[in-house]
Structure 1
Amino acid sequence: MLTTTFFPKSFASDNHAGVHPAILAAIAEANAGDAPAYGADPWTKAMEDAFRAEFGDQATAYAMFNGTGANVVGLGLMLRPYDSVLCPATAHINTHEGGAAERVLGAKLVPCPTDDGKIAVDGIRDHLSVIGNTQYAQPRVVSISQVTECGTAYTAAEIAELAEFLHSRGLFLHMDGARLANAAAELGCSMRALTTDAGVDVLSFGGTKNGAMGAEALVILRPELDPPALFLRKQGMQLASKMRFVSVQLTALLTDGLWRENAAHANAMAHRLADGVSDLPGVSLRWPVQSNAVFPALPEKAITELQQRYLFHMWDANENVVRWVTSFDTTPEEVDTFVSDIRTVVSAHS
């Protein structure tokens, strides 16, 4: 019998974490007896109601298998055949989704320079000068990540400023919210404040990184974009036959604040980790800790030695920047042990 004891403690990704017990219990409860397929079940109806309660009555949620699928289907709702998507150069859709949006949708992605994973109005303004010029793909959507791939979080005001600018020019705002819960927990606000109320049109909601077994959602916040969603989800191979087992995970996350509890704990562990090493000579943080990710620069030999004991990823080999990610089930004791080892190893190589 295989067990996770074969693997060292992982600070590589929140995808490495297990499943929250409340979500496992919800899956087991939904496993009693037969139920209609393809979303015609009471658990999926409950999921849809839960998203409306969280994001507003106009929100329509569709359960998805994964974030790439949610991003592709969501972007497809807004794009015409000749359109482009502007996004930060670091965006997941641009770097870690295998060209899925370009392959499936035939849409051009236009990466915009960024220092911290975020883009603002000034970062996209020049790209809009091609609107109306038939020689260019037409900017139609701006996609942002919350939190960003650098672990930084947009404030509600930053999102609202971007949305207002785009809407005034006939463009849409898409949010890859794989870690939206972490942003809301860090900023002390609701997820609605960072999406619906800030002017986001389409959201990819992340559950898997926050304690789910494997569940994401496409959340349409602009009702006029909704009609094609059922068909694009099917064509995008994101329609689950036994959908109740996906839907019930999302409902569990949105029940009794579990999403916030999980995200707040993961964030707290990241802050604990950063605080434990930030005073070390030879260690510097590339970006402020605003979620459950820490990006420190370390001596190269220290990285090599630490990776023999722990799982974590190199982020920028040129600058010796690594990424440490904590999760809902990371314990203070695990962080403290990691910090102790980091301090010992870094001190030996400084």
Structure 2
Amino acid sequence: MAHPPAVTPGDAGAGAPAPATDARRRHDPAVRGFASDNYAGAHPEILAALALANGGHQPAYGADDYTAHLQDVFRAHFGPRAEVHPVFNGTGANVVALQALTDRRGAVITTDSAHIHTDECGAPERVGGLKLLPVPTPDGKLTPELVDREAFGFDDEHRATPQVVSLTQSTELGTRYTPEEIRALADHAHERGMTVHVDGARIANAAASLGLPLAAFTTDAGVDVLSFGGTKNGMLFGEAVVVLTPGAVTAMPHLRKLSMQLAAKMRFVSAQFEALLAGDLWLRGAAHANAMARRLADGVSAVKGVEIRYPVQANAVFAALPHEVSERLLKCYRFYYWDEAAGLVRWMCSFDTTEADVDGFVAALREEMAR
């Protein structure tokens, strides 16, 4: 009987030439910007992990060796009761997590700037079958007092029942919660029979900013379920739902499947997470992005006529400047308006933002402001 070769077509040995491909580079890698940390490519260590996971056959749909080991990887950060469920993307993670914490009459209290409210095309409500109850905030952060604006009518049959408090760490406005603030929110929610979800698309940036381990402001602070972000911190694709209070949810595998978030070749999601979390790659990338945001904020703050609007506590900088200046800058650098009518823009830094990127942008801004 013939035996398979020792090296399969998917296994490139050390020093082997790059595999041939008919694909061609379609972009200029010299083009840089500050639009989103999702604009960055994949970290080289992530690509190396994908290459190691390639080749041979592994069981599909999460029954592979990489996903089995991933439980231990996440438990090292979040404690022995943590359960990880890899998914495709951030919206999927939030929808699956919130479905798991609500029933058909359930509602979720969140901020009016939350990604689940402003940037997910209604997916939590349309796909998740729940009601969002957004609360205005001055800095993107909830407080127990703000939660109470919507935490009422639990027995009112005419109103969706508040069942979850969802906060974002770090927030959409670039701010972050302290462990004490999250603990106060969790205690307040639990006293009212609600659970706590964290949208952690940029949770690594929050950890780097706080100088604390991930469990300090999640598991130890009373969070029940976490949407853990990987793509914004160097992964090619993939996020995860991390259940921190196992009794808070049921049927997670079924909810992931019916929400179209079950990857057939899940080993390629799990291998990336291992590369990110088994060592310190997650922290290195986030700390660097934060440092570049701080450098950017310091640089633009010195330019007359530019106003930083929110504390720079992670990898985002929000600034107000004349509209015509923004329009001229956009011809050379990509970034987004946050509130175009108010002249408010958002600049994001990523794991691969360089000091030269920042300094070049600050110089261009200074030149345009002087015109």
Residue 306 (structure 1) aligns with: 329
2:221 maps to a residue whose letter is A
Per-residue CA deviations over 1:3-42 (Å, capped at 9, x if unaligned) read: 4317731210000001111110000000021111111111
CA contact (8 A) 1:14 1:209 kept: yes
2:297 maps to a residue whose letter is A
* 2:112 aligned to which of 71, 89, 99: 89
Q: Is the counterpart of residue 234 in structure 1 residue 273 in structure 2?
A: no
* 1:160 aligned to which of 173, 183, 193: 183
Shift of residue 318, structure 1, vs aligned partner = 2.0
Per-residue CA deviations over 1:25-73 (Å, capped at 9, x if unaligned) read: 0000000211111111111112111001110001000111001001011
Per-residue CA deviations over 1:287-340 (Å, capped at 9, x if unaligned) read: 010111100101111101000000000011121010000100111111111111
Alignment of 1:150-229 (within 5 A): 150-229=173-252
2:226 is paired with a residue of what secondary structure? strand
Q: 4+ residue runs of structure 1 moved beyond 3 angstroms?
A: none
Per-residue CA deviations over 1:155-205 (Å, capped at 9, x if unaligned) read: 111000000011111101100000000000011001111110111100000
Percent of pairs with identical residues: 52
* 1:289 aligned to which of 303, 312, 318: 312
Q: Is the counterpart of residue 324 in structure 1 residue 347 in structure 2?
A: yes
Largest Rg, 1 or 2: 2
2:189 maps to a residue whose letter is L
Residue 4 (structure 1) aligns with: 27
CA contact (8 A) 2:109 2:166 kept: yes
CA contact (8 A) 2:152 2:162 kept: no
1:170 maps to a residue whose letter is G
Residue 128 (structure 2) aligns with: 105
1:101 is paired with a residue of what secondary structure? helix
2:347 is paired with a residue of what secondary structure? strand
Shift of residue 78, structure 1, vs aligned partner = 1.0
* 2:99 aligned to which of 62, 76, 83: 76
Two-structure CA RMSD over aligned residues (Å)? 1.1
CA contact (8 A) 1:153 1:291 kept: yes
* 2:89 aligned to which of 60, 66, 69: 66
* 1:32 aligned to which of 35, 38, 55: 55
CA contact (8 A) 2:301 2:307 kept: yes
Looking at structure 2, the residues matched to 193 and 260 of structure 1 have their Cα atoms a distance apart, in angstroms, of 15
CA contact (8 A) 2:174 2:317 kept: yes
Count residues with an aligned counterpart: 348
Residue 20 (structure 1) aligns with: 43
Q: Is the counterpart of residue 48 in structure 1 residue 94 in structure 2?
A: no
CA contact (8 A) 2:135 2:149 kept: no
1:340 maps to a residue whose letter is A
Residue 364 (structure 2) aligns with: 341
Query: TM-score normalized by structure 1?
Result: 0.98
CA contact (8 A) 2:74 2:277 kept: yes
Looking at structure 2, the residues matched to 166 and 227 of structure 1 have their Cα atoms a distance apart, in angstroms, of 19
Looking at structure 2, the residues matched to 235 and 287 of structure 1 have their Cα atoms a distance apart, in angstroms, of 39
Looking at structure 1, the residues matched to 318 and 328 of structure 2 have their Cα atoms a distance apart, in angstroms, of 17
* 2:80 aligned to which of 41, 53, 57: 57
Shift of residue 83, structure 1, vs aligned partner = 1.2
Q: Is the counterpart of residue 145 in structure 1 residue 168 in structure 2?
A: yes
2:150 is paired with a residue of what secondary structure? helix
Looking at structure 2, the residues matched to 22 and 279 of structure 1 have their Cα atoms a distance apart, in angstroms, of 36
CA contact (8 A) 1:8 1:311 kept: no
Looking at structure 2, the residues matched to 148 and 279 of structure 1 have their Cα atoms a distance apart, in angstroms, of 25
1:271 maps to a residue whose letter is R
Looking at structure 1, the residues matched to 302 and 34 of structure 2 have their Cα atoms a distance apart, in angstroms, of 20
Shift of residue 133, structure 1, vs aligned partner = 1.4
2:333 is paired with a residue of what secondary structure? coil
2:295 maps to a residue whose letter is R
1:255 maps to a residue whose letter is A
